[in-house]
Structure 1
Amino acid sequence: MRFGLIIPSLLAVTAFAGEKIETVTQGEYGANWPFTVEKVDLLCQEGPPSALVRTEDGKIYALNGSARSKASKNGWLDGQSITKPDVSFPGIKMDYSEITVRAMKLCPSYAG
């Protein structure tokens, strides 16, 4: 059963080998940090740009629409699942659009 968890992680690492990766942390964002984990690696997959984050345990989370559309095929999880609730708006998750844009800027074809 453990092999099923290891293989997708290895495939995810291979898929991003040689691509730009940027690490961002809770310390950089302070109270505006939107995630339940303390740091993430930002990744972008070409083709329309898929903004992604990878947590320390190797799991990859889709942040934007193009990433979500490929998530199940690639074994990615939804970024909302590691997003903290917004204390100002009960029932709503925090906004991570700034982090999404930072991840998309890692794709060479991104013109935003």
Structure 2
Amino acid sequence: MKSVILGIALLATATSALAADKLINVTKLEYGKQWAFTKEEVTLQCRKGNALFVLNNSTLMQYPLNDAAQAQVKAGQQRAQPLDVILLDDAHNPGKKMSVEVFRTRAEKLCAE
């Protein structure tokens, strides 16, 4: 009986943790020439306060994707590296990084769900 109660408690905890942060994996294959990241696959995340982050799946390091996420990092609520660290250079605009607008839009949809 104790193990059943413990199992239910763990399930409830895990469910609430997943509900707090909404995630979606995206890949280079899905986006083709729009792909902006140095990794083949990343995770987009919506956190409390509509803070959007990109997660490097291999290192679990996160990068702020919008102003709300930047504010959380500056306030010490989140640990993250600058987004430019994981962005590719834009071949069509020397000296600039690839646009992340399509990824920001996709991550914003997570917040609305």
TM-score range, shorter chain: 0.7 to 0.9
Offset at residue 38 of structure 1 (A): 0.7
Structure 1 spans left out of the alignment, 5+ residues:
1-13
Structure 2 spans left out of the alignment, 5+ residues:
1-13
For the pair shown, the structure with the greater C-alpha radius of gyration is 2
Q: Is the 8 A contact 1:71 1:78 kept in 2?
A: no
Counterpart CA distance in 2 for 1:99 and 1:30 is 13
Counterpart CA distance in 1 for 2:67 and 2:22 is 20
| RMSD after superposition | 2.0
Larger deviation: 30-39 or 68-77?
68-77
Counterpart CA distance in 2 for 1:17 and 1:100 is 22
* Superposed CA offset, 1:63-101 (max 9, x none): 111111212411112222111010111100000111011
Aligned to 1:91: 95
Matched, 1:75 2:89: no
Identical aligned pairs, as a percentage?
Answer: 33
Query: Which residue identity does 2:30 align to in structure 1?
Result: E
TM-score by length of 1: 0.75
Offset at residue 108 of structure 1 (A): 3.6
Give the structure with the higher percent helix: 2
Aligned to 1:37: 39
TM-score by length of 2: 0.75
Counterpart CA distance in 2 for 1:17 and 1:52 is 17
Count of residues in Structure 1 that have an aligned counterpart in Structure 2: 94
In the TM superposition, 1:1-112 aligns within 5 A as: 17-18=17-18, 19-47=21-49, 49-56=50-57, 57-72=59-74, 73=76, 74-108=78-112
Q: Is the 8 A contact 1:63 1:78 kept in 2?
A: no
Query: Which residue identity does 1:51 align to in structure 2?
Result: L
- Describe the shift of the 1:17–1:40 C-alpha distance in structure 2 as closer, same or farther (beyond 3 A): farther
Counterpart CA distance in 2 for 1:64 and 1:50 is 7
Q: Is the 8 A contact 1:24 1:39 kept in 2?
A: yes
